[in-house]
């Protein structure tokens, strides 16, 4: 699990995180959302020790991140950066995805199998001999994801994974998250993509100006206009429509197309009787 207690962090005296406290258990899928500059990326960089608390603590499976190296923490915490170019370095896609496996001492046959599996899953296998830097932004993002998934960490953290991805790739990512959840992994995603979160995440942590302003069910958080406005986000599109139809008897906390369809049909049916 991840345990964060009264976490404070600043850059050159400018406070970015102000007393953040959270717990994330095994098997949880959590979205961290908020405006630009809210502290989201700074927060997740504490999970694998890239940043160390100025006050408070972060523990990963009981290990205080201040007392462990990045290498030690990275074996259990995989972090996919927002900008894949900050993560990629190898000459080929295959070598990029295989690097961590080799570094952690996996046997060659296991490396071959795992790399082939993850490249096929993310629709990258035909690109395995290409340079990562010759690929599109969306493809490079998927290579960065593959390089983390290949060594099977217990915690996988994605920073804006849907940026540059089309609808099909978002659907594939959603299925991947479900697969990882079924394996009892912790999945944390930093994102502004409210539609993606509404459809795929049970829990949302909302940050604003370095503080947690909401932590709860996705429906409760993402349909609360005051909270969403405070975090400079937009309501999910279905929720926006639902709130315009409240006067006709449609609930204002709907998030899914199937829900609003059923609610509208119910109103129409009632009106015809």
- Please give the angle made by the CA atoms of 51, 227 and 13, to the nearest 5 degrees: 30
- Portion of the chain with pLDDT greater than 90, in percent: 82
How confident is the model at residue 273, as a pLDDT? Answer: 45
d(CA 268, CA 137): 45
How confident is the model at residue 255, as a pLDDT? Answer: 95
Measured in whole angstroms, the distance separating CA 80 from the mean position of its chain's CA atoms is 9
Under a CB-based contact definition with an 8 Å cutoff, are residues 40 and 21 in contact? no
The two three-digit tokens of residue 154, written as one number: 């217990």
Architecture of domain 2-223: 3-Layer(aba) Sandwich (3.40)
In degrees and rounded to multiples of 5, residue 203 shows phi and psi of -135, 140
Q: Report, as an integer, the average pLDDT of 129-151.
A: 91
d(CA 76, CA 172): 23
The number of beta carbons lying within 10 Å of the beta carbon of residue 113 is: 12
Break the chain into its structural domains and give their ranges: 2-223, 236-273
Q: What is the pLDDT of residues 32-51, one digit of tens each?
A: 999 999 999 999 999 999 99
Q: Place 270 in a pLDDT band, splitting at 50, 70 and 90.
A: low
Q: What is the pLDDT of residues 226-266, one digit of tens each?
A: 999 999 999 999 999 999 999 999 999 999 999 999 999 99
- Please give the angle made by the CA atoms of 46, 52 and 58, to the nearest 5 degrees: 55
Under a CB-based contact definition with an 8 Å cutoff, are residues 19 and 6 in contact? yes
Measured in whole angstroms, the distance separating CA 191 from the mean position of its chain's CA atoms is 6
Q: Report, as an integer, the average pLDDT of 96-118.
A: 93
Position 272 pLDDT exceeds 80: no
How confident is the model at residue 212, as a pLDDT? Answer: 98
Most confident stretch, 98-107, 143-152, 198-207? 198-207
In degrees and rounded to multiples of 5, residue 2 shows phi and psi of -110, 125
SS3 label, residue 56: strand
d(CA 106, CA 98): 10
Average pLDDT for the chain: 93
How confident is the model at residue 172, as a pLDDT? Answer: 86
d(CA 184, CA 62): 17
How confident is the model at residue 83, as a pLDDT? Answer: 86
């Amino acid at each position: 699990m991840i345990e964060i207690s009264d976490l404070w962090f600043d850059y050159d005296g400018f406070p970015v995180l102000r007393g953040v406290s959270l717990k994330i258990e095994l098997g949880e899928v959590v979205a961290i959302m908020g405006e630009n500059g809210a502290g989201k990326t700074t927060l997740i960089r504490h999970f694998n020790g890239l940043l160390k608390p100025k006050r408070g603590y972060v523990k990963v499976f009981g290990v205080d991140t201040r007392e462990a190296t990045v290498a030690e923490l990275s074996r259990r915490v995989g972090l996919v950066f927002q900008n894949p170019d900050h993560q990629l370095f190898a000459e080929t896609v295959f070598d990029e995805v295989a690097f961590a496996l080799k570094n952690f001492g996996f046997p060659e046959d296991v490396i071959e199998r795992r790399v082939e599996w993850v490249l096929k899953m993310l629709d990258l296998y035909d690109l395995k001999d290409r340079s990562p830097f010759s690929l599109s932004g969306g493809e490079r993002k998927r290579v960065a994801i593959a390089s983390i998934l290949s060594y099977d960490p217990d915690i996988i953290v994605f920073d804006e994974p849907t940026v540059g991805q089309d609808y099909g790739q978002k659907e594939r990512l959603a299925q991947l998250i479900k697969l990882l959840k079924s394996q009892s992994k912790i999945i944390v995603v930093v994102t502004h993509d409210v539609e993606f979160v509404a459809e795929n995440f049970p829990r949302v942590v909302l940050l604003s100006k370095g503080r947690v302003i909401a932590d709860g069910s996705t429906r409760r958080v993402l349909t609360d206009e005051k909270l969403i406005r405070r975090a400079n986000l937009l309501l999910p599109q279905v929720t926006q429509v639902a709130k315009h139809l409240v006067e006709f008897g449609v609930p204002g906390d709907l998030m899914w197309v199937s829900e609003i369809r059923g609610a509208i049909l119910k109103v129409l049916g009632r009106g015809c009787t």
